[in-house]
Amino acid sequence: MLPTAFERAAHGGLVQARAILTVICLVIMFPAPSRAADGKPWDPALGTATISGSVKFDGKRPRSRAIDMAGADEKCAELHGGVRQKPETVIVNDNGTLRNVFVWVKSGAEGWEFPLPEGDAELEQVGCLYTPHVQGMRTGQSLAIKTSDPTAHNVHGFGKVNRSFNRSQPPGAADIVMRMRRDESQPPMKVKCDIHPWMNAYVAVVPHPYYAVTGERGAFELPNLPPGTYILEAWHEKYGGMEQTVTVADNASQTIEFTFTKKK
């Protein structure tokens, strides 16, 4: 039986609707990268300036309770010989500086296309703790998440710009390699182990190489900058971000200081 006029019309309408839907799906399936891919290729000869400094902490070292792993997962506690570890949220160094502060050039380094470093950024799970606690990596680079612990972990990345991920790693599991395609440093992405709630790390994904994390001396150094004016940000997971504008001349070096205080 030939289709009725109504059925033919409906069929035609369906074909059109399907075509429109297909186009829409194709479009939304390919997210645009978050920065223009066409910056000028970077010329290393231009990177002659350096900004360095330290991040100080003003005030009494805040109290924190050591992590009791034994009650929750004996295998974790055994990896530290039963000695309780301190949380890495706020570490004030002996010289009064703040550790694990992510310092980076927030603006001023646009317009360049920097080559990606070889290899992946690494996040290790050792002794039921993440190492490093805070790190930076390059947009387009991959993060290789490794485990050497005898107990199962579950890496949960809370991406606000990059896609969130939630992957299990039983003991001896292969590395989980996640490509970070978009900038995410305001704030850096939090990574957490779902199984061991005290395990946290932060990963900042940056489009240029001008970033550092303060260590035991609370110091940072950003070399190979082209001369100019920059806004630098120092970010701490508990105390947030703090900005400073710095102008640096050709072949020159500037030293700045950030000071965080315990929030009331």
Partner 1 sequence: MSEAHAELGFLRKYVFSTDHKVIGIQYGITALVFLFFGFCLMMMMRWQLAYPGEPIPLVGGLLGETMVDRGAMLPNFYNQLGAMHGTIMVFMGIVPLAVGAFGNYIVPLQIGAPDMAFPRLNMASYQAFVIGGLVMLVSFLLPGGAASSGWTSYAPLAVFATSGQTFWLLGMLFLIASSLLGGINFIVTIIHLRAEGLTFFRLPFFVWSQLVTAFLLVLAFPALQAAAILQAMDRLAGTSFFLPSGLVVGGSAVAAAGGGSPLLWQHLFWFLAHPEVYVLILPGMGIVAEVIAVNTRKPLWGYKPMVYSLLFLGFLSFGVWAHHMYMTGMGTTMSTFFQITTMIISIPSVIILTCLVISLWGASIRFPVPMLFALAFLPMFGIGGLTGLPLGLAAPDAFLHDSYYVIGHFHYVVAPGTIFAMFAGIYHWWPKATGRHMNETLGRIHFWFSFLFMNGIFMPMMFEGMAGVSRRLFDPTIYTHAEAAHGLTIMTSWSAWGLALAQIPFVINFFWSMRKEERAEENPWQATTLEWATPTPPPHGNFVETPVVYRGPYEYSVPGAERDFSPQFVKQGV
Partner 2 sequence: MNESQYGWWLPPNVSAHGDDIDLMINLIHWFMLALFVGWSIFIVFCLVRFRQRPGHAAVYEPIEARFNRWLEVGVAVAEAAVLIAFAMPVWAKVKNEFPATNTNPVIVRVIGEQFKWLFHYPGKDGKFGKTAAEYYADDNPAGLDFDDDDGIDDITVRGLHIPVGKPVIARLVSKDVIHSFKIPVMRITQDVVPGMEIPIWFEARSTGEFQIGCAQLCGLGHYEMKAKLTIESPKEFQRWLDEEHSALGL
Taking CB under 8 A as the criterion, the residue among 24, 158, 238, 247 binding partner 1 is: 158
Give the nearest distance from C-beta 177 to partner 1 in angstroms.
10
**What x/- string results for residues 94 through 123 when contact with partner 1 is judged by CB under 8 A?**
------------------------------
Selection from 116, 62, 92, 118 nearest residue 214 by Cα = 92
217 binds, among partner 2, partner 1, none (CB under 5 to 8 A by kind): none
Q: Which chain residues interact with partner 2 by CB under 8 A? A: 62-66, 68-74, 84, 87, 89-90, 152, 154, 166, 168, 194-198, 200, 237-238
Give the nearest distance from C-beta 124 to partner 2 in angstroms.
18
170 binds, among partner 2, partner 1, none (CB under 5 to 8 A by kind): partner 1
173 binds, among partner 2, partner 1, none (CB under 5 to 8 A by kind): partner 1
Phi-psi region of 108 (alpha: psi -120 to 50; beta: other; left: phi over 0): left
Amino acid at position 87, single letter: P
Does residue 137 sit in helix, strand or coil? strand
Taking CB under 8 A as the criterion, the residue among 64, 107, 166, 255 binding partner 1 is: 166
Burial class (CB in 10 A: 0-12, 13-18, 19+), 25: exposed
Question: Longest C-alpha distance within the chain, in Å?
Answer: 90
**What x/- string results for residues 194 through 223 when contact with partner 1 is judged by CB under 8 A?**
x--x--x-----------------------
Q: Is 156 in the site for partner 1 (CB under 8 A)?
A: yes
Whole-number Å distance between alpha carbons of 232 and 256: 10
Q: Is 173 in the site for partner 1 (CB under 8 A)?
A: yes
Whole-number Å distance between alpha carbons of 115 and 250: 22
47 vs 87, beta carbon nearer partner 2: 87
Give the nearest distance from C-beta 249 to partner 1 in angstroms.
42
Count, residues near partner 1 per rule CB under 8 A: 17
Whole-number Å distance between alpha carbons of 55 and 259: 6
Residues 126-155 that bind partner 1 (CB under 8 A): 152, 154
State both tokens at 82: 């039963």
Q: Is 167 in the site for partner 1 (CB under 8 A)?
A: yes
Selection from 93, 90, 97 nearest residue 53 by Cα = 97
Give the nearest distance from C-beta 98 to partner 2 in angstroms.
14
Q: What is the CA radius of gyration of the chain?
A: 24
Query: Within a 10 A sphere around the Cβ of 63, how many other Cβ atoms?
Result: 6
Residues 6+ apart with CB under 8 A from 185: 102, 104, 136, 204, 205, 206, 211, 235
Q: Which residues bind partner 1 (CB under 8 A)?
A: 1, 152, 154, 156, 158, 166-170, 173-174, 190, 192, 194, 197, 200
